[in-house]
A and B are shown apart, each in its own frame.
Chain A
């Protein structure tokens, strides 16, 4: 997924929001899960969006998460057998589309984006996957030392 972002200041922190500059996945989290609820309100019929986001959460249940990490360790082994397993994002997209025939594409976009955000997104074109430099150990100590 490509989250629409607006880099401001050019630092190391990815910046987004508010006022319409957030990605859809961010927006879904903010306005569907949070905010004021008044029980007298008419709940206008939604195009199945809550059901879709719930499905998305089920899909990322633990076994799939574990397989994803197993794959990640395989990727470290440059001369290994290559990446095994299914592409979970594709799997999910197939599921979402199959299970939501007749729903508007806008909602599907929303749900698929949500799924990809939950799954870790950026499976295609993720810069990190393409870097040539060897993976370094992270300087955990350094970060701690800089604390006041």
Chain B
């Protein structure tokens, strides 16, 4: 499968990726409902950090209700029907790439669709094949 990789030095912080992502996931243009997050680098004059899931799957064993699974295409997905919104996986994500929103029961998580990459004007994010 292809996962989203980043080159933060190319990021201008325009946020187009977050808009594109929230549109795919929740049909709204709201960076707070995006599974990719661009944050100003703390303490630095300029620059951005990019947080996005690498589909490592460590959250699968954290979940106590078997709501997180590896889909056929290799992407790590959440079954919203099973999820009880406990957010243990969010706190235990080594990439800090799972997010929450008070109006959404399940965590907000990348589905590896590539919409963010297509929206990025600078090539700061790109897709790369991963085993």
- Do A and B belong to a common assembly? no
Residues of chain A whose beta carbon lies under 8 Å from any beta carbon of chain B: none
Residues of chain B whose beta carbon lies under 8 Å from any beta carbon of chain A: none
